[in-house]
Chains A and B, each alone.
Chain A
Amino acid sequence: MFTLLGRMWQDGTARLDAVLLRLATRRHRLIGVAILRVAVGFATVLYCLSDYSKRRFLWGPDSYDSISTAKAALPRWNFSIFLWSHSTLWFEIVFHAAILVALAFMIFGGRALTLVQAVMMWSLHNRNQDILEGGDNLAQILILFMVFTVSNAYFAPGAKQRRARMREQEQPTVPTVLHNLAAFLIVFQTAVLYFAAGYWKITGKMWQDGVAMYYISRITGFEMSSAYAHLMNNAFVGTAVCYFTIFIELALPFAILSARPWVRKANTVALECLHLGIMAFMGLICFGLLMIGADCTCLRDDDYRSLARRFRSVKGRLSQRRWAPLPTGGMTPVAMVAGQDGAANA
């Protein structure tokens, strides 16, 4: 009995050790996190610029949302550095600093900038909560996890050298553990979001009937294109879009867990298309960008590499086809074929 328990304990600790070793030795999802960084930075810049001329009305000290009202609306333990002073100068400094920080975060990344971006983004969102969309809620959570990640291993100046340095580090380290767990939590939170959103939709009568998109397309605030409203008039198209949305939202957690890369890729690409549609037809640009960034973390680094290989091979084939020599008078088709496969030399 004791021998069996001892063996089980040994097995358990060995497995735990293997998990810890995997967590501690190699950083995962570096590409996805880097894309998320770019998306969050870009969306924050767009968010600030969308109402740049109305900035004092929406976020300033003399805003319709007065500083005392905004302070009263702050959730417990929340803050906004916009609310530290009634001075217009302070507001202008902080607002423009938020734009610059977001820009720097988008380009350079890194833990320190992520922390500063988190402070600025939370401050901006807490200053006026009326104009937030669902994507801001997700970004506020993900940016906290991003503080622990290496977000600049790709798509940033010096990324190649950074990756080389990471490869040289053979020993398991605490920052690697934190990066991997934070990346896992980003993916987990995104999966929970989609599953919850899919669940709430599937329980709704309008979604079951396939008419939800018709009504959404007619709400004045989201009616960016008459073509979209016109398309949703069609019972088949409307129902297909409703069911497709629910299906890909509910499927995401399972796609992430799937051992088949094409399932993950297909589901992620479908979600990206959904958000591109939301950006184009509903005008929710920042929301769409943030969601696309979050979706990108659902793919593994190997998925991106295989996509890159596929892209290069398709590009290569296309360029070969484009530059293939045309038959000329001095060359018969047979000679050309022989030259191509090397049979003439045999």
Chain B
Amino acid sequence: MRVLARSRESEGAPRTASGPLPLRVRISALTALAAAAVYCLCCLAYNAPDSPAKDRVKGPVTALMNPVFWQDWQLFGPTPGNSDDLIYLRVRMTLPGSGQTVESSPVEIEQAIDRSPRDFRLNPTKLPGVLLAFDADANRYAGIANKLQKLPAAEREAARKRLDEQFKPNFEEMQRFFSVQAKTLYPGARIGAVQATFKTRPIVPFSARYAVPKPSQHEHGVLATSWLTYIPGVAE
């Protein structure tokens, strides 16, 4: 604080420099000013809500902003989540003793990971973000897949293939992540495949927060993946 106070005396009031600006500085300042003005206008248009006016400038503005200055400031707006996401994992494995291949019953894995930041509150883990991303992918995929159901049967199959191709990297991520989770759940077993089911459970409504007994919130299914081959060698 003392440093700040001392510096004030020496820097003094804004200077009123007279005389013309050097040409080099003038040209550089004007160029930089123009670039800053373009950025400001693009930033405003990029963040503006959808409107006919925005539609007219959206193309060039997005082209200019997206590669480096992509931004999304909705931050819990307009509607924060009102449900908890759940992921149930099933594992197909060969038991070590008997050599018998069995399928496990579904085990919910997301809530435990979501609670893991509480283990070290000073600098919590970012692990829940992974599942948040998976939930978003699953919701997006399910939303598009549901829309595809309305297409004529002839087009539906091709559209579904395109959708699967589009989401291939996302499902590959899930496959690797769930493989590690399965290994953690069943350390001794020889795992063959994993399958995940994404569900949501609504949060008790605000109006019913004091209700006794607590209203039971039913889980809704979002997406069930097919059996995904277990991938060994992923870092644990």
Contact surface of A with B, Cβ cutoff 8 Å: 17, 19-26, 31, 46-47, 49-51, 54, 56-58, 60, 62-66, 69, 72-73, 75-78, 129-134, 137-138, 141, 144, 154, 159-160, 163-164, 167, 170-174, 177-178, 181, 184-185, 188-189, 192-193, 196-197, 199-207, 209, 211-212, 214-216, 218-221, 224, 233, 283, 285, 302, 304-305, 308-309, 311-312
Q: Is the CB of A64 within 8 A of B180?
A: yes
Contacting residue for B126 out of A50, A134, A202, A302, CB 8 A:
A50
* Contact yes or no, B4 A185, CB < 8 A: no
With CB as the reference atom, state the residue of chain B lying closest to A59: B235
B17 touches A64 (CB 8 A): no
**A163 is contacted by which of B7, B29, B44, B81 (Cβ under 8 Å)?**
B7
The 9 residue pairs across chains A and B that have the minimum distance between CB atoms: A204-B78, A200-B77, A130-B133, A131-B129, A56-B235, A201-B77, A131-B126, A220-B114, A196-B73
Contact-size category for B:
35 or more
Q: Is the CB of B11 within 8 A of A163?
A: yes
**What CA separation (Å) do A203 and B29 show in the bound complex?**
39
- A-contacting residues of B (Cβ < 8 Å)? 1-5, 7-8, 10-11, 14-15, 17, 20-22, 24-26, 28-30, 32-33, 36, 39-40, 43-44, 47, 49, 66-82, 84, 110-111, 114-115, 117-118, 121-130, 132-134, 169, 172-173, 176-177, 180, 203-204, 206, 209-210, 233-236
B71 cross-chain contacts in A, Cβ below 8 A: 137-138, 141, 193
Q: Establish whether residues B8 and A203, one from each chain, have CB atoms under 8 Å apart when the complex forms.
A: no
Q: How far is it, in angstroms, between the C-alpha of A179 and the C-alpha of B149 when the chains are bound?
A: 55
Known: A54-B127, A172-B25. A192 touches B77 (CB 8 A): no
What is the distance, in angstroms, from A158's C-beta to the closest C-beta of chain B?
A: 12
In the complex, the chain B residue whose C-beta lies closest to that of A138 is B71
Q: A60–B233 Cα gap in the complex (Å)? A: 12
A23 with B33: CB separation less than 8 A: yes
Residue in A closest to B22 when the chains form the complex, CB atoms: A172
Could you jot down 8 A-B contacts, CB within 8 Å? Answer: A25-B17, A50-B125, A51-B126, A57-B236, A64-B180, A172-B17, A203-B77, A211-B206
How many A-B pairs have beta carbons closer than 8 Å: the answer is 238
Contact present for B28 and A160 (CB under 8 Å): no
- Measured between beta carbons, the chain B residues less than 8 angstroms from A207 are 77-78
Q: Tell me whether A60 and B235 are in contact (CB under 8 A).
A: yes
B47 touches A196 (CB 8 A): yes
Partner of A200, one of B74, B111, B203: B74
> Using Cβ atoms and an 8 Å threshold, which residues of chain A touch B28?
174, 177-178
Max chain B Cβ within 10 angstroms of own Cβ: one of A31, A66, A184, A233: A66
Look across to chain A and name the residue whose beta carbon is closest to the beta carbon of B72.
Answer: A137
A178-B32 in contact (CB<8A): yes
Q: How far is the CA of A54 from the CA of B119 in the complex (A)?
A: 15
